[in-house]
Every structure is written in structure tokens, then in C-alpha cells.
Chain A
């Protein structure tokens, strides 16, 4: 039995210790926003935040999570940069099929949290692990820049859901 802190709530799961967090989220807890793409840490679709750091949940055994605070796409809109990125994503409608976008937003929000004004090389380096098969890369770049340029507003308290 593991007690996990996910999106601010403690969840208990009874699974083998080597089960990757991705499958705990999707198949045990019903948090299907985090996506399966490759199972090998090659595509970034499954990116979550572990204590604020972007990690590939398909490569993270549940037994290694411990007390770390996990944030997923379902909750990242309650963080300042997550909310800004979601707004920026909609402002220029980044996506085509949209399947990889949860992972893109999770990687981008971890980037901005650590580096609020990244240059293009820093954006490329932080996002190179996230594949978009539809190749929306021009707009992903643009949306990250738009979010980085946003000013503090009331909306940063975390509601992009209006």
C-alpha cells in the first residue's frame, strides 16, 4: 500500500512497487490527463511534476515516489505558470490532435517556474524531450513566450476555467 500526495490530496494505492506512476494515475486513480506515448521516457507525453520538477511518469516506479508532491495536468492550472500557459495555449490554439499537449504544458510550466524568461535555446533545450507528432512546435514556442510575457493578474490565482 502506497500513500501518495497527488494534486494536494493523499491517495492510497495497492500496487506492486515497480509499477510506473503513469499507470497508477491512469488505471488506478482515473487521472487520465497524463498520457501514455512510448513507455520508455522518449516522448514526454506522460510528464508530471515531482516536487515541481518535470519528470516522465512512465519511468518513475511508484515505490520511489515517497512523500514527494505530485502535480498532474488536471491540477497544474492552479499554479501560476500552469494557468498562464493554459491561457496562452488557447490564445493561439496551439494544438492539432492535442494528445501530447498535457505533457508539453507540464514541461513548459516546470521551465517557467525555474526560469521565467527563457530564451529560445533554453526553450528548445527544456522542450526537446516532448514530441508533438502533429508538429505544433512553432506555436508551442510562441505560447511559452506569450506566457512568459504575461503580467501578474488575479487570474494567476489559478483559474483558467472561466
Chain B
């Protein structure tokens, strides 16, 4: 197994062994991350180190600390699997404890960007291997043998020659007195020696979940706790003028009404609002109807979907925008092209809508704040508390709750800041803030919409020689809004000689943010749909065009030094494999039924997908989806991995087909709940066939990269089945 040896030579791993209370070995590792480690947030500095904790008790029970937030991505199971496998214990002996938030102790604790697997793959295994090494040394000393004569399996140490064996627990206390090894010198298993990694294992919380036991943020219950709603302005960017709270004093169950002037920055800070606090959440929510508030909504005037559309048209008419990337001479090549293809594409704002509505619980007393938060970035939450409320991180105890879905929504911690502001106003009383679904849909950090004007040029031989995209996105003119804009890496950049990407920006008061596979979830639709048009114009099909563009197997350096390198060979392999698994060249026999293809590279994962869809009486049905993915040499937990892929595929289909679009009128969100912002439901679920390509490369994350290709694979299938080119999401077929 070849591992990346890119550790910063200046920083060394620190390994500390100690005697567990009650006997046994406790091992703590503080490990510098590879220089190329990636953070969950595009804007955040990458984490520099992480830690691992493992202990072995005298009864042989192995306890592994799970330090990252669990949002359904399975990390509370998969990271401990890496430790346990190298420790060579039995999975049934392993117990997992959830860490609190403590950056000094644990390093980065976050869930986002498909980062947990690549960042932890080596350190977690090294820590497990170090613990095994120490247990072996202890047994060797006990038996007066060389450790080289001993083997391990299932949490026991064996000496074959004397037919002796001893459990880890029996030597754990003496192992605690030994000097830990150099972490980078410990021997790691070869992949064929794995006994836990690669096995389909049930999630460590699953047994609690099916019995309905408390585990999510919303399940937090504290003695004397009250429940809060937080009424904010109907329009994004609204400010509180005056709250008329008199009528509320007599509302059933209402104990406190707290108007809060925020920092005027709903986007990552504290929005103005009025908290209603009651003995029961429903009573607090009912009381909202008797609350009258004067809001200043002037900032939101004109922030409407129709106005944004007009501004996008005007931006296209005005010129080419700010140049992000120019390779070769695209203008001259397009002018001289034998054939030119042009099209405009667009997609809407969409909401995350995780099933567990935003919530957070806080208890403020004697200038100390204790918080229970289902957050993807709890450490960012501490920063937000300091920035918005001036509460210093050392005065905060932050517990991580399992989150009922993240999808990027919980990368932002607005609910944490809100509940802290409320709890500080009512010291001594634990407060649970819970948003209604309407709050969640209207006050999301939306995936921003966008418009693209694309052009491609073919030479006389039908070869794609020039490609350009003018992107109208959101931002202040200089900097894109959060999760808006593009970075110049969109496929086919680097594969076409003459290429230009540029962007223009529309200012917005609407809060925007990262949604699963940020940027790629929209750009892949643009890239792969338009290239499908190009392929057809060139007399070929998209997978063939992609293979031609990819050319020789090689690594393409990241554009402007940002992001990972792109391996054309790995891209070729997933494309060729999905053409086989989906039997690409065999067309369905039924009328108005066809296959569509798309490829994308995002979050270090290579994915090629084929969708088979049909159209009957104006209804689109998806029959089957073939997925081929490459996320490195090893799928850590196939049980969770396949769920991530299926979930991403169905989520992408829902974005395209269910009618998801968030619209605004003067900053007021027009959608409110699942009737007008629909999610996927069981009857639309297709069969999904998954295959992997596993090159000898370090494992990378799987939360995101399976999503982007399914959308253009679907719209390309719709074109093949019906002749209707979908250039706008969500999919709407022309009425006949």
C-alpha cells in the first residue's frame, strides 16, 4: 500500500500513553495533517492537526472517541473502523464515545467537503497500529519473548510456538507504562490484511435510532427547560423597528418575550428578531400569530426572482464580465470555427431542508454558556458566538448532537447564535430553540441560482477547439456571495485548447450557502448538458467526446494552484466502466425511452453515471441509474458508502424532477413547506446499480461527488428520449 508521505517535516506527531482509570491503556495521538489537507469550509483555513483517542480496558473493551459531528454520513462508524482494524481487535469489543467540542484537544471537528476520510485515513490507522504495537511489547515482556514472534487477531495476542495466547485487556495496564512508538514508523496492514475496513458494518447509532431513543439535537431535554421560537423579518435583510408584545403576555404557556437587535447581518451573524419562550414549543409557535412587529423591509425591495432574471439578461447584453480564466485564444478560434454551438442555461435557488428542523439548546448561567448543537462546524459556531455576541470560547461548553441531516445547511450556525442570545436574556433557564419548517425553508442559506451563456467551436474535423462560458452569479461585483461564483475548473477546462470563463454578479440580500457538492451540483449540469449538445453537433455521443477530450492518461495540475490535481486516466476508467455496466450502446426498445450519460470530478471523486428515463403523457419516469465511482483504493464501510451514493443520486433527481425552486418577491421567500418545495418520495425511486473502480490511490470522501452527474445524465436522457433539450432547472416539459 503506497501512502502519501507528505507530512510537514517541521511538525511531528505526539503520542501519549497513560494508565486508564481502573486499569488499562489509554493512548492519545496528536497528529499533524498532510499539507494538502482540506477544510470543510472553502473560506476556512485548513485544519493543521487532528487527534485520535483509543483505550483498552482490562476486560478487553476498546473505546474509541469519535470527534467529528455525525450528520448521517456515517463518520461515527467509519473513522473508528480505521482505528480498530489496525489495532486488530474484534469490532464487537469496540465502544464509541462522542467527543465534545475542544479544538485544543481534538483539532478540527467538522463535517463537510467530503474531508473526513482523506484527512483521517492515515492518522486513525497509525493510532490503532501504535496501540497494537504497545500491547505486543507488553505481552513480549510478560512472556520474555521477542515481539516479532507474536501475532494478533481479534483482540488477542498469540505465540504459535508455545500455543499460548492472551487478551489485550490482560496486558493493557503494563502496556500503559511503555514508551509509545514513533507514529510514522509503525507498521500498517496491507489491504488484504484488513478485517474491519471494507466490511459492511451497521452504524453505531442505528440500534438506538430504530427504537426512537433520544439522540438528535431536538431530543435534548433538560430540567426546567423552556421552548423558543424566533420570529424574524418576513423578508431577507429586514430590520426590527418595534415589537408589540403586550398581547403575548397572556398567551397560554408563554413565559418570556425577548426582542433581539442583531448585528444587522443575517448572513452568518444574528438577524433581528423576537423570541417567544413557552412551556411547550407548540404554544410558543401558536403565540406568533398574536405578535405584531414593525419591520423595516426597505433593503429587500427589488430582490425578486423576476428582477434577478432581467438583471441576468442585462449582464449578458452588457459584455463578457470579469475574466476568470483564458487559455489560448478563444475569441479568434470561435470566430474561425467551422461550426459554432451556443446556448443559455439556468438553475434556481434551492433549499437544503434537512428533516430535522434547525434547533439548538442552550443554558446560560454565571457568564458561562452550555450548548447542545447539531452542527456540521461546531468550532465555527464558537467563532460566531464571539463575533455576534462577544461570548468568549473559553466560557462555552459545546456538546455535539447527532444531526438529522446536514447537506451543508449546518455548516452555518445561525441557530446557535440565536439560542445563545435568547438564553443570555433568560439566565438560569435552559432554552431549546426550534424552527418551524416554514422558518427553515424561508431562512435557509440557499444554493444560489445562476445563468450561463455558453459557446463552443468545432473545427472542420468536428473536433472541439474552443469553449466559453459567461456566468451570471450573485455577489457584490468584486466577490461572489457565499457558494456563488466559479473557480475556473469546470469541465472541460484544461481539456480544450482555447477556453474562456468569465462571470458577472448580481447583488443580493438573500442568504446563500453551500449545498452538498457545492458549485459542482450546478456546474456539472451546465458542463455536461452543453457538452452533450456539442457531442451531438459533432456527430458523436457524450462519453465518446469526453474520452477524446481526456486523451492520454496524465495528471492535470489544479487551475491557479487551487484544489486537487485531475487525473485523466481515472476519469477515463470510470467512463469506460459505466459504458459497460449500463451497456451504453444498447438502446432501450420501448418508445420515448433512452439513456443519458454524464461525468464529473468533484471533492476528489471521479463519477460517471447513466440514467435510463422515459416520457409518457408528459410524465418523466426514471427506470434505472448506473453509477461508477472512484474514491481511491478502499471503500471503508460499503454499508454506508452505498447509502451515500444512492442518497446523492436520488437527491439530484429530486432537484431536477420534483419541482424544487425557491423564488423571491421583494426578499420574501415564496415557498414554505414540502407542498411547494417538494422532496423525493419513495415511488420515484429508481433501481440504482453501483460499481467501483479502485486504483492504488488514497481513499477520499463520498458525501458529495456522486450527486452532480445524475442531473445532466437525466436531462441528456430526456433529450435522447424526446428531443427536448432541458436548459433550465427544475425540469419542465413543454405542454403540448
A43 within 8 A of B: yes
**CB of B607 within 8 A of chain A?**
no
* CB neighbors of A among B275-328 (8 A): 279-283, 285
Known A28-B280, A43-B674, A90-B202; contact A77-B643, beta-carbon cutoff 8 A: no
CB neighbours (8 Å) of A102 from chain B are: 209, 212
Let me know if A27 and B280 touch, CB within 8 A: yes
How many angstroms between the C-alpha atoms of A97 and B374 in the bound complex? Answer: 12
| Chain B at the A interface: SS class | loop
Q: Which residue of A lies closest to B201 (CB)?
A: A93
A88 to B405, CA, bound (A): 22
Name A139's contact: one of B357, B643, B651 (CB within 8 Å).
B643
Q: Is B437 touching A136 in the complex (CB atoms < 8 A)?
A: no
A43 to B643, CA, bound (A): 20
Known pairs A16-B252, A38-B437; A33 contacts B213 (CB<8 A): yes
B215 to chain A, nearest CB (A): 8
Q: Are A138 and B210 in contact (CB under 8 A)?
A: no
**Contact of B688 with A by CB under 8 A:** yes
- With CB as the reference atom, state the residue of chain B lying closest to A40: B673
Of B66-74, B524-532, B552-560, the one with at least 4 CB within 8 A of chain A = B66-74
Contact among A26, A74, A130, A136 for B646, CB-based, below 8 A: A136
Contact with A along B429-467 (1 / 0, CB 8 A): 000001011000000000000000000000000000000
Minimum Cβ distance to chain B for residue A97 (Å): 3
Q: Does B227 contact A (CB under 8 A)?
A: yes
Q: Are A95 and B355 in contact (CB under 8 A)?
A: no
Give which listed residue, B203, B210, B281, B356, contacts A99 with CB less than 8 A. Answer: B356
- Against A, the Cβ 8 Å flags (1 = close, 0 = not) of B681-724 are 11101011000000000000000000000000000000000000
Question: Complex: how many Å from CA A141 to CA B683?
Answer: 10
Contact status A37-B437, CB under 8 Å:
yes
Name A23's contact: one of B206, B282, B680 (CB within 8 Å).
Answer: B282
Verify if A101 is at the interface (C-beta below 8 Å from B).
yes
Stretch of B180-188, B216-224, B567-575 contacting A (4+ beta carbons < 8 Å): B216-224
From 94 to 109 in chain A, residues with beta carbon under 8 angstroms from any chain B beta carbon are 95-102, 105
Evaluate contact between B280 and A15: CB separation under 8 angstroms.
Answer: yes
Q: Which residues of B contact A123 (CB under 8 A)?
A: 682
Q: Given A40-B437, A102-B212, A133-B679, do A97 and B403 touch, yes or no (CB 8 Å)?
A: yes
B588 interfacial by beta-carbon distance below 8 Å: no
Bound-state Cα–Cα, A28 to B280, Å: 7
Residues of the A chain whose Cβ atoms lie less than 8 Å from the Cβ of B154: none
B675 at the interface (CB under 8 A from A): yes
Whether A42 touches B73, Cβ cut-off 8 Å, given contacts A28-B280, A99-B405, is no
Shortest Cβ distance from residue A91 to the other chain B in the assembled complex, whole angstroms: 8
Q: Are A101 and B209 in contact (CB under 8 A)?
A: yes
Q: Which residues of B contact A89 (CB under 8 A)?
A: 206, 210
CA distance A110 to B219 in the complex (A): 25
B interface bracket (residues with beta carbon within 8 Å of A): 35 or more
Q: How distant is B39 from chain A, measured CB to nearest CB, in Å? A: 22
Q: Does B206 contact A95, Cβ atoms closer than 8 Å?
A: yes
Q: Is A49 an interface residue (CB 8 A)?
A: no
B175 contacts the other chain (CB 8 A) = no
Contacts of A98 in B (CB 8 A): 72, 203, 205-206, 209, 215-216, 402, 404
Within the assembled complex, what's the spacing in Å between the Cα atoms of A161 and B481? 49
- Output the nearest chain A residue to B213 by Cβ-Cβ distance: A33
Bound Cα distance A26, B284 (Å): 14
> Which residues of chain A from 31 to 74 have any CB-CB distance to chain B below 8 Å in the complex?
31-40, 42-43, 45, 72-74
Is there a chain B Cβ closer than 8 Å to A113's Cβ? no
Indicate if the CB atoms of A135 and B282 lie closer than 8 Å: no
Quick check: is B644 within 8 A (CB to CB) of the other chain? yes
Please, which residues of chain B bring their CB within 8 A of the CB of A19? Answer: 280, 282-283
Cα distance A134–B647 when bound, in Å? 5
Min CB distance, A159 to chain B, in Å?
A: 11
- A124 at interface (Cβ–Cβ under 8 A)? yes
CA–CA, A138 to B206, complex, Å? 17
Among residues of B, the one whose C-beta sits closest to the C-beta of A123 is B682
Output the nearest chain B residue to A85 by Cβ-Cβ distance.
B210
Are B437 and A99 touching (Cβ within 8 A)? no
How far apart sit A131 and B207, CA to CA, in the bound complex (Å)? 21
CA distance A99 to B354 in the complex (A): 9
The reply to whether A90 and B219 form a contact with Cβ atoms under 8 Å apart is no
From known contacts A96-B73, A136-B643, infer whether A32 and B219 are also in contact, taking CB-CB under 8 Å. Answer: yes
With contact pairs A28-B280, A97-B356 given, residues A127 and B644 touching in the complex (Cβ less than 8 Å):
no
Residue A112 lies at the interface, judged by CB distance under 8 Å to chain B: no
Q: Is A137 in contact with chain B by the CB < 8 A criterion?
A: yes
Contact at A42–B72, with CB atoms within 8 Å?
no
Which residues, 108 to 162 on A, are CB-close (under 8 Å) to B?
123-125, 127-128, 130-141, 160-161
Assembly CA distance A40 to B207 (angstroms): 29
CB distance from A112 to the nearest CB of B (A): 15
B438 — nearest CB in chain A belongs to which residue? A39
Which residues of B in the span 411-432 have a Cβ within 8 Å of any Cβ on A?
none
With the chains together, A85 CA to B280 CA distance in Å? 32
Contact A96 B74 (CB under 8 A): yes
| Alpha-carbon gap, A96 to B262, bound state (A) | 35
Instruction: Check A27 against B673 for contact (C-beta < 8 Å).
Output: no
Residues of A within 8 A of B353 (CB): 133
8 more CB-based (< 8 A) A-B contacts, given A28-B280, A40-B675: A35-B216, A38-B674, A42-B674, A77-B210, A95-B643, A131-B674, A135-B654, A135-B680
Chain B positions near chain A (C-beta within 8 angstroms): 71-74, 200-203, 205-207, 209-216, 218-219, 221, 227, 252, 279-283, 285, 353-357, 402-407, 434, 436-437, 639-640, 643-644, 646-647, 649-651, 654, 673-675, 679-683, 685, 687-688
* A interface, CB within 8 angstroms of B: 15-16, 19-20, 22-23, 26-28, 30-40, 42-43, 45, 72-74, 77, 85-86, 89-90, 93, 95-102, 105, 123-125, 127-128, 130-141, 160-161
13 CB contacts below 8 A, A to B, read A26-B281, A33-B212, A37-B355, A37-B357, A93-B639, A96-B647, A97-B71, A97-B402, A97-B403, A99-B72, A100-B355, A133-B353, A134-B72
